[in-house]
Amino acid sequence: MALLEDSIGVEDLVLLEPLAQESLLKNLQLRYENKEIYTYIGNVVISVNPYQQLPIYGPEFIAKYQDYTFYELKPHIYALANLAYQSLKNQDQDQCILITGESGAGKTEASKQVMSYVAAVCGKGEQVNSVKEQLLQSNPVLEAFGNAKTIRNINSSRFGKYMDIEFDFKGDPLGGVITNYLLEKSRVVKQLKGERNFHIFYQLLVGADAQLLKALKLKRDTSGYAYLNQEVSKVDGMDDASNFRAVQSAMTVIGFSEEEIQQVLEVIALVLKLGNVELADESQANGTPASGIYDGQGVREIGEIAGLSSQELERALCSRTMETNKEKVVTALNIIQAQYARDALAKNIYSRLFNWIVNRINESIKVGTGEKKKVMGVLDIYGFEILENNSFEQFVINYCNEKLQQVFIEMTLKEEQEEYNREGIPWTKVDYFDNDIICNLIEHNQRGILALLDEECLRPGVVSDSTFLAKLNQLFSKHDYYESKVTQNAQHQYDHTMGLSCFRICHYAGKVTYSVASFIDKNNDLLFRDLSQTMWRARHPILHSLFPEGNPKQASLKRPLTAGSQFKSSVAVLMKNLYSKNPNYIRCIKPNEHQQQGQFSSKLVEVQVRYLGLLENVRVRRAGYAYRQGYRPFLERYRLLGRSTWPSWNGEDREGVEKVMGELSLAPEELAFGKTKIFIRSPKTLLYLEEKRRLRLQQLATLIQKVYRGWRCRMHYRQMRRSQILISSWFRGNVQKKHYGRIKASTLLIQAFVRGWKVRKDYRKYFRSGAALTLSGFIYKRMAQKFLLGLKKSLPSTNVLDKEWPPAPYKCFNTANQELQQLFYRWKCKKFRDQLSPKQVEVLREKLCASELFKGKKASYPQSVPIPFCGDYIGLQGNPKLQKLKGREEGPILVAETVKKVNRGNGKTSSRIFLLTKRHVILTDAKKSQAKTVVGLDSVAGVSVTSLKDGLFSLHLSETSSSGSKGDFLLVSGHVIELLTKMYRAVLDATQRQLPITVTENFSVRFKEGSVTVKVVLGPGGGEDGKLSCKKKGSGRLEVTVQ
């Protein structure tokens, strides 16, 4: 039982002690601050708006409350919805859920939660789901057209709504009927500071696409419309664009066609444009005031939407036709009257459109007349209102709340009396405030305020709000619940808060002062016949259907019903409907004026508690027995308090309850035993039972803990003992297994040794002393044979450049393998040489000599390796003159090449033909082919050459020779490697001595006049081209730059 166990505060105010306004408020505040927003008064749910999303809704909580009865879980709106639905389904009893509270208290959200719960717990199926979806989707449509942002609430319902949801015998929804009450149509033309018009206007302008706005002749800027409050166009936390799309989708789900949706939006656009129609002050020819349209553009656009001519519309707005039985009189309206007519038309169009939408929804969700059905009604209606300036709207709203309070008291008492009679408990009459006298004050057919208001509206002659107030003062001067300035003066009372044009009624929730200003106009709710007839002539389908009284064939001179009469009739039908059903109540409370979460204003809540009559409700519930419960759950909860019923009871439930109560020695007047329930008069008695149960639970908990601890220790000891025995046995077995394993291994070792010794002893005579050497020699020979045969099969190619050789299979053959590799290579080389001709041998010898002389020393050597030595580079065979220069005994010319001789004086070069024979070096003039210098090879002392890629070399001559008197030669050759190699070999053959060849960048050249030091340097190009430039540096230096 969740009501008293681990609860925050008191979950059911019937059990509140002491019962007073202050303790009730503190209990609500305590629960609200701990996010417990629901509290019970019996089966009435009090809901305090948290202004935030709490994690207490959804499928998980729906399933939870579906499986429990009303009092078994924490207070919740789901519990009330489940109680109503189960009563309807199982007991075949029609239900109604009344949701009341002031604006911003959360009534709309509460109705949504009730609807979502019922939709979730009823049956499934394609048709059922379609009906549920239509019922749920009616909410966003009605909110868009009937809700608005007010000072107190951003989504305030500005109409009352009663929805009958109809179910079949299985509890599945079949459809429903929606009834709306008193739409606040004055909001269409005027809003208070900080408030907005109805949501649909802003949703249309913000959410419609450009094409739709163009078709409706609208602009997106909300500041361009007189009927929309310019101060508040957007609301924090509300997305008008997405809400507009949701409304369109919902209308489609309900069954609106695309044409109907478009036509509805056209009517909304027409209302917006009516507010922008500017009227001008004019005069007739006789001086009578008249009015006209200031700018005809707006009227033409309205006419295009409505299917009317602008002349018709202007005539209807600016003139009025008075009809009698004999004649018609057309009178012009002054500007004030024309503005009133324009605003009245806008209000009537919107109000009638709202009624048309409700009727259209009803057509989609209605149920066939032949089906038997059960009904659950949900009433979401405005709560009691006391504003700074209370007018006709507050008067009828408070009248409706008086009737609902009357229903609540009567139905609560009736329910209590019926339960007492069912259980056989004597019923004691309960004293309570009966507000029937206040209801009669307002609704009496002849002497009620509404009747007098209608009478004043219909009376000929001068009629005004002041004449209506005078009639009230005259008729109710001695009424206990009516006050005015006149009645106070008659009783010599002074009240500065009471105005001369006001009257006050003492409602059940407190005194409310009403201003009679505009009572007559608002009750008449007049719309000139010209406007009705003009709208009826419109070609727009919906607009035409909204004004059936405009049909001339159905024209009637009878005055239409007043707003007060219509509302009184609607309330009467509502009351009749509620009396025919079992009521369930949700009282919604607004905790603060700023819509802030966590704030609790005690003064504001106190006023609402008084408006809702919560304290009166608690007193009615506690007038007899404050608490009652069935015998079985009561016995299950409290049987532990009796010795005879604990720990088990096998008798009847009532007998067990009587024994428990008898052992506790409670006062007899505190208890009553019904047929199925026990009744407890005072909350103190129930709290005493709960305290005794708490102490008994502590005793039982201690006993259970003692028994459990003893059992746990015994079980622990037994488990440890079993574990110790198991470990010991395993350990001893493991030790013996290891010992046996060691003995077995030792035995096998001894046996093997003995067997081996015996075998060796028996067969020792068959072994020879040299067997090991013979065997090893045989094995080695076989290994060598295998190695050599394998080498035969894997010999490499005979190419002298192929250096590959198979590795030795065993390390012992590594030395032999290397020797065989060298022998094989030498054999390949010999075989290669045997194949060469003498000329090829000579060429290779020259290349070998060049390698020995210049490899790694001269940079141009690598380039000369692949190029064969030619010897003749000047075409010697075609030049007989040059051939004659050598003697016949000289043999062939080894080298014939054009070289450049460096001048000794200035470093300039001149071309010479260089001829090398077996005994001489001959330098010849390139042009005359005459020998200029002939040097014997025995006179050549040495050669100096650079390490770079250039062709510069110096030919040093011995001083004692005849040619040496002229000095050394400094020459430049393009084939210096070949030239010097052949000269080296020629000198060796001729003189049997090696020619000294020095590789250096600094060398001395001896000339006739003296010695010159030659220095060779690299130029900017790095010497890659090999080109030379010589420059004399003084008398003894010559610098050669290699480019």
Q: How many angstroms separate the CA atoms of 398 and 378, rounded?
A: 19
Active site residue 364: no
Active site residue 383: yes
Closest Cα partner for 111 from 319, 315, 308, 376?
Answer: 376
Catalytic residue among 108, 484, 487, 864: 108
Q: How many angstroms separate the CA atoms of 716 and 124, rounded?
A: 54
Long-range contacts of 238-243 (CB under 8 A, 24+ apart): 238/149, 238/154, 238/155, 240/199, 240/202, 240/203, 240/206, 240/207, 241/203, 241/206, 241/207, 242/207, 243/140, 243/144, 243/199, 243/203, 243/207
Distance of CA 425 to the CA centre of its chain: 60
Q: How many angstroms separate the CA atoms of 756 and 744, rounded?
A: 18
Q: How many angstroms separate the CA atoms of 806 and 800, rounded?
A: 16
Active site residue 104: yes
Catalytic residue among 111, 150, 153, 398: 153
Judge contact between 621 and 639, C-beta under 8 A.
no
Cis amide leading into 18 (omega within 30): yes
Active site residue 385: yes
Active site residue 156: yes
Catalytic residue among 42, 104, 377, 1023: 104
Catalytic residue among 160, 303, 383, 951: 383
Catalytic residue among 47, 82, 116, 156: 156
Catalytic residue among 103, 523, 532, 946: 103
Residue type, 370: G
Q: How many angstroms separate the CA atoms of 506 and 508, rounded?
A: 7
Q: How many angstroms separate the CA atoms of 983 and 922, rounded?
A: 12
Contacts of 183 (CB under 8 A, 6+ apart): 146, 158, 159, 351, 354, 355
Bridge partners (DSSP) of residue 99 are 380, 586
Closest Cα partner for 75 from 25, 7, 24?
Answer: 7
Contacts of 116 (CB under 8 A, 6+ apart): 57, 136
Distance of CA 680 to CAs 1, 411, 433, 669, 953, Å?
16, 22, 25, 9, 138
Active site residue 286: no
DSSP classification of residue 426: P
Contacts of 958 (CB under 8 A, 6+ apart): 939, 940, 941, 964
Bridge-based pairing state of the strands 374-380 and 95-100: parallel
Residue 668 CB-density burial (10 A; 0-12 exposed, 13-18 middle, 19+ buried): exposed
Catalytic residue among 385, 410, 655, 658: 385
Contacts of 406 (CB under 8 A, 6+ apart): 435, 436, 439
DSSP classification of residue 462: -
Q: How many angstroms separate the CA atoms of 1039 and 1005, rounded?
A: 12
Residues with active-site annotation? 103-104, 108, 153, 156-157, 383, 385
